[in-house]
């Protein structure tokens, strides 16, 4: 259902390509050197969002074996909980019958004859639910799972022990809120709590400061606003990243750094996408 996402072999090849093309730094070091103007040429950082367990079991060893650091942004409310709301939805659609009737809960009726159709239905449902309040979003996902009535995986997310192990490997752990809300859709008190509490929880787990934050979903002015960037700064973080596409430069706001998601099926296309993003501000 996600053919563009790399498996371990593809990710290994991508890691080799990034290592050959760029000087990979930790986000903390890169952010500091961005401000002082001391970045090496072709500087790059690697980040992961949410806190999936395969970040530890698959991605981190591949990176560590190549001497590459990365930052792993963790949504603390899902630690040890098995899966996020979107996984409940995706895994339910994966296991659903060809005819999936969700009209009783306001999500329509769907026919899914192949994996492509299932992927389209999953994307449609995710898009419908993503901007609901977190509690309603979770409730709807659970209702879909209940109607499908099949066992779902319960080991997709990291535990506290896993996060601690990731930090002990020399990887940076960053905060990604507690429940992964769209910050622009919640009140200021809730947004501030999500930003602050995720840091407090992670620092207690790894025993060291957590200085970086990733905005859930991350699109500026749609998923978060300037007020949330100020909250992040006031919470004591040193750097925050969005999902705005492009390359950071010295005039970039350290609390709204851009990122890119260079998914491609071939090494050549992957390299071209990386290089195009590197040149874009």
Residues 254-268: tens digit of each pLDDT: 999 999 886 777 778
223 domain-assigned? yes
Do 166 and 45 belong together in one domain?
yes
3-state secondary structure of 224: strand
- pLDDT above 90 covers what percent of the chain? 80
- Which residues constitute the domain of residue 44? 8-80+159-279
Task: Evaluate whether residue 153 is within a structural domain.
Answer: no
Q: 49-98: per-residue pLDDT in tens?
A: 999 999 999 999 999 999 999 999 999 999 998 899 999 999 999 999 99
Q: Which carries the bigger pLDDT value, residue 2 or residue 181?
A: 181
Check residue 181 and give its pLDDT: 94
Write out the E strands in 36-130.
43-44, 47-50, 71-74, 99-101, 109-111
Residues 181 and 140 in one domain: no
Q: Are residues 92 and 72 in the same domain?
A: no
How do residues 94-122 score in pLDDT, each as one tens digit? Answer: 999 999 999 999 999 999 999 999 999 99
Q: Is residue 154 part of a domain?
A: no
Check residue 235 and give its pLDDT: 97
The helices-and-strands tally (H runs, E runs) of the chain is: 11, 9
- Mind listing the pLDDT tens digit for each residue in 130-189? 999 888 999 999 999 999 999 999 999 999 999 999 999 999 999 999 999 999 999 999
pLDDT > 70: percent of the chain? 99
| pLDDT on residue 249 | 87
Residue 12 tokens read as 């290994």
Count of domains for the chain: 2
Cβ contacts of residue 184 below 8 Å, gap of 6+?
A: 221, 222, 223, 224, 225, 228
- The verdict on 76 and 119 lying in the same domain is no
Neighbouring-strand partners of residue 101: 109
User: Model confidence over 196-249: pLDDT tens digits?
Assistant: 999 999 999 999 999 999 999 999 999 999 999 999 999 999 999 999 988 898
Q: Which of 148, 167, 189 is the last residue of a domain?
A: 148
Decide if 1 is inside a domain.
no
pTM of the model: 0.91
Same domain, 259 and 127: no
């Amino acid at each position: 259902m996600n053919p563009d996402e790399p498996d371990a072999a593809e990710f290994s090849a991508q890691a080799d390509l990034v290592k050959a093309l760029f000087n990979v730094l930790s986000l903390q070091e890169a952010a500091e050197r961005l401000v002082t103007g001391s970045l090496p040429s072709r500087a790059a950082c690697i980040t992961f969002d949410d806190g999936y367990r395969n970040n530890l079991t698959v991605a981190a060893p591949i990176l560590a074996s190549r001497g590459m650091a990365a930052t792993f942004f963790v949504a603390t409310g899902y630690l040890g909980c098995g899966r996020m709301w979107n996984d409940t939805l995706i895994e339910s659609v994966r296991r659903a019958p060809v005819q999936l009737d969700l009209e009783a809960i306001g999500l329509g009726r769907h026919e899914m004859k192949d994996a492509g159709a299932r992927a389209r239905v999953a994307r449609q449902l995710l898009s419908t639910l993503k901007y609901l309040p977190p509690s309603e979003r979770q409730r709807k996902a659970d209702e879909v799972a209940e109607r499908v009535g099949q066992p779902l995986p319960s080991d997709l997310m990291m535990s506290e022990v896993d996060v601690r192990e990731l930090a002990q490997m020399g990887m940076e752990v960053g905060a990604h809120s507690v429940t992964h809300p769209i910050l622009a859709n919640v009140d200021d008190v809730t947004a501030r709590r999500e930003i602050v509490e995720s840091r407090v929880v992670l620092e207690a787990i790894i025993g060291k400061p957590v200085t970086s934050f990733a905005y859930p979903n991350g699109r500026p002015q749609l998923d978060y606003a300037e007020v949330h960037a100020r909250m992040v700064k006031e919470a004591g973080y040193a750097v925050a990243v969005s999902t705005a596409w492009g390359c950071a430069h010295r005039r970039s706001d350290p609390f709204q750094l851009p990122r890119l998601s260079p998914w491609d099926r071939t090494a050549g296309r992957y390299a071209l996408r990386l290089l195009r993003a590197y040149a874009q501000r």
